[in-house]
Structure 1
């Protein structure tokens, strides 16, 4: 693992009225590492994700991508800088086809937009790349359907296909298997495991299913009441008395 963080937060906080939803969180993440962020409902996990990806601006603290301060950058600017975010709820273009959703993501990565439409060779390359990402996510057979026509599980897979098409350095997944059937979830988990095999990528994953945490995590970060209360090896963290107290009564299959 690289000793230089790919992304980190320093004293990151956000207040809504008198409530600190995220409170003074300092944490660094490295290439080749998959970190699962866990915590009970209301712990601040998704809020912290929203701060890192730019949907929210912090009350204090900063976010650094390498040595670059990105605290004031917009979500689109952060995406261009290499941060890719898959949301807990699907974030698609519902009236466009499955294929067009992915092709737009490929074009966004190419940064050439509609100028490519007049160039046959470039358009062919876009088409081939888009279809490759659809094949990776088992969506090629429904490429011409509107995104809105897909069942929920396939919409989640489409969002992952779009994220893959952006080829980010940092992947952020917010409960990627939420709402998916037992048969559908393994496809997403295999895609994440495949990304993890690339040691240049950093993966942040908010999750509450213990089987997913066990299968994927190199490291666990625990948030509680907006504060970072534990950070380290998955087995050691989940054996901590403090963490057991936080999850007392939640059952053995869910940790957040």
Structure 2
């Protein structure tokens, strides 16, 4: 805990059932401002499903989710995004048929309250483009600003997702395996950016990740899910050395992956 009066994001008994299978089972967790929490667990543990419940891709069977103490359990994805909860992939999908710069410029416009109007006065258009280019440069996409976003390779699209998140300046940022599918050269760009985001103590970051080196370099805290249950929650060293986590990962290569 960081001494905040209340967590920025919290779940209370969050659960989802698919037929007879409970994929996320009664998960209660709090996420404080200025922290980065890694959500880990073996395959099928419920990590991405938990993310989907928080961001609104799935409807909870039971339990509730709160953002700044407002109940967002029944809100659609768009409303949760508007209130400051951003998950990377949902943003790229909104602008996939525009150029890379247009993607980010529209995100800048949205943040400025201008909406999605692409027909703007020349001076304002230039100002917004310059701000968009700033975010593109930060993620290493400035040279690709004029290409269609849909033509970017997978790694480029992941970088564009981060640029959109930066441009929207949301309070809660959710990354689901942010370096997955990236080349060795592209990975440091994203990890450096997440380090920068983490340094902003007004941001709260949640990250599903498998790579232990990434987790140890970024996470302030680890939550472990196993068979849909939250089985451990705490500082990285403490969590990864706990008997219940060692048992959960027995035979799964805990030294290399979680």
What TM-score, normalized by structure 1, do the two folds share?
0.95
Choose which of 173, 189, 192 in structure 2 pairs with 1:190.
192
Distance 1:153 1:29, change over 3 A: same
Post-superposition shift, 1:92? 6.0
* Residue aligned with 1:156, SS: helix
Q: Match for residue 221 of structure 2?
A: 219
Choose which of 134, 149, 155 in structure 2 pairs with 1:147.
149
**Equivalences for 1:74-153 in 2 at 5 Å?**
74-87=76-89, 91=93, 93-115=95-117, 117-153=119-155
Alignment gaps of 5+ in structure 2:
none
* Residue aligned with 2:119, SS: helix
Choose which of 178, 181, 193 in structure 2 pairs with 1:179.
181
What TM-score, normalized by structure 2, do the two folds share?
0.94
2:256 equivalent to 1:253: yes
- Structure 1 CA distance for aligned equivalents of residues 98 and 68 of structure 2: 35
Distance 1:114 1:29, change over 3 A: closer
- Structure 1 CA distance for aligned equivalents of residues 179 and 200 of structure 2: 21
Conserved? CA contact 1:88–1:175, under 8 Å: no
Aligned residue pairs total 255
Q: Match for residue 167 of structure 1?
A: 169
Conserved? CA contact 1:84–1:171, under 8 Å: yes
Post-superposition shift, 1:95? 2.9
Conserved? CA contact 1:116–1:122, under 8 Å: no
* Residue aligned with 1:187, SS: helix
